[in-house]
Structure 1
Amino acid sequence: MQMIQQTADLSAYLAADEAIDHHHPVVRETAARLASVAADSYEYARAAFEFVRDVIPHSQDSGDPRVTWRASDVLVQGTGICYAKAHALAALLRAEDIPTALCYQKFEVVHGLVAVRFNGAWHRQDPRGNKPGVDAQFSLDGERLAFAPDPASNEMDYPVLYAAPHPAVLDALKAAPDRAYLWQHLPTAL
């Protein structure tokens, strides 16, 4: 997938905001713990990805009714849907000065993931969580995402790299009292 942004100014992709709160102590502590066993930025990025993918269950898969949207809440509560898990991964990567963008795919509903900047290029990663039929892996050598859109079914990759969560995504997360409500109000397009 070719991303449309080719920017030399990566500062927006390192910034903190209300959802990607990488200055929060729990984000900093988690990042420091993961960084302590990583030899370099690439190993750290893989470790952060695998932590969010494997340690934080996708709330739909686990049946957890709680809705999280802020990265620190995802880490504290140990749950989130794709968007929230993407916010957590972006915060962990930005905490270690790795430029990270949010990006989206369109299926029946919008799916959230991240793009990480290494070696002068963006590489999409999907920390949603694996399950039967889903095998997302950290890769800089070709995408290993959870899902591949089928253009014949009107599915697509949105080519935009967002520095902050898309308002439609953030509004849906913030308005949801629980996951059942959220599931009925997920954005279907951006």
Structure 2
Amino acid sequence: MCTTHLSRYLEPSSVIDFDHPVVARKTRELAVGCTTDREIAERCFLFVRDQILHSWDHKKNPVTLTASDVLRHGTGFCYAKSHLLAALLRANGIPAGLCYQRLVSGEFGQPFFLHGLNAVWLEGCGWYRADARGLKPGHDASFTPPVEMLPYTVRAPGEAELPEIWYEPLPGVVSVLTRYNDIEDVRRNLPDIEVAGFGDR
């Protein structure tokens, strides 16, 4: 049974819209045959990682934000893919939140950018981070609780692991995915956040 402090990580929202029919249908489909939350969570993770294309890797429009749009169009940036994974997990009664890493960019004049991933609450494990961004050479990501297998490691000066687990996406993320209609524009204006005072290295 979920404790009170996890209840907000089970709610739908305008972005994590698991009450949308297309998301609800996929939720039921992914849960078929599973007997534990861990099985469901892994199946949802693998679906988003492997079946939803990363918009920039595959140069695929449109720009998506909501879980339902990501699912309908089959594409999304890391942030949008994390919205879908959170929706699929929450719809199955598994608490899920959103996490971010601040990473070095070095492209298009951007020194840093935020990378979006998820945290899922599993009994006996607690919060476990999983990154369904999508595989590419040199970047592995698996679902192996309690051991995290994340594709990106914070190492360079200015990079940071943002420690919070959000139940809604950061406003800056929503703003970028709402403002721009083409993936080229999103890629040139990826969200960032000031982390001075904590986490800078």
Same fold (TM over 0.5): yes
Unaligned ranges ≥5, structure 1: 1-6
Verify the 8 A CA contact 2:70 2:81 in the aligned structure 1: yes
Verify the 8 A CA contact 1:123 1:139 in the aligned structure 2: no
Deviations 1:16-46 (A, max 9, x none): 1111001011111101011013222110100
- Measured in 1, the distance between the counterparts of 2:18 and 2:33 equals 19
Matched, 1:33 2:29: yes
Residue type at the aligned position of 2:175: D
Match of 1:171 in 2: 175
**Structure with the higher fraction of residues in strand conformation:** 2
Indicate the SS of the match to 1:105. Answer: strand
Matched, 1:132 2:137: yes
Unaligned ranges ≥5, structure 2: 104-111, 195-201
Of the three residues 59, 82, 88, the one matched with 2:84 is: 88
Verify the 8 A CA contact 2:61 2:75 in the aligned structure 1: no
Length-normalised TM-score, structure 1? 0.93
Verify the 8 A CA contact 2:78 2:133 in the aligned structure 1: yes
User: Which structure 2 residues correspond to residues 126-165 of structure 1 after superposition, within 5 A?
Assistant: 126-150=131-155, 152-165=156-169
Match of 1:184 in 2: 188
Indicate the SS of the match to 2:117. Answer: strand
User: Which structure 2 residues correspond to residues 13-92 of structure 1 after superposition, within 5 A?
Assistant: 13-92=9-88
**In the TM superposition, what is the alpha-carbon distance from 1:8 to its structure 2 partner?**
4.7
**In the TM superposition, what is the alpha-carbon distance from 1:185 to its structure 2 partner?**
1.4
User: Which structure 2 residues correspond to residues 97-112 of structure 1 after superposition, within 5 A?
Assistant: 97-107=93-103, 108-112=112-116
Q: What is the identity percentage for the equivalent residue pairs of Structure 1 and Structure 2?
A: 44
Provide the aligned length of Structure 1 versus Structure 2: 183
Indicate the SS of the match to 1:93. Answer: helix
Length-normalised TM-score, structure 2? 0.88
Indicate the SS of the match to 1:127. Answer: coil
- Measured in 1, the distance between the counterparts of 2:8 and 2:86 equals 12
Deviations 1:82-134 (A, max 9, x none): 00000000000000010001010001210000000012510000000001111
- Which has the higher Rg, Structure 1 or Structure 2? 2
- C-alpha RMSD of the superposition: 1.2
- Measured in 2, the distance between the counterparts of 1:67 and 1:133 equals 25
- Measured in 1, the distance between the counterparts of 2:57 and 2:190 equals 16
- Find runs of 4+ consecutive structure 1 residues off by over 2 angstroms: none
Verify the 8 A CA contact 2:79 2:117 in the aligned structure 1: yes
Matched, 1:114 2:110: no
Verify the 8 A CA contact 1:65 1:180 in the aligned structure 2: no
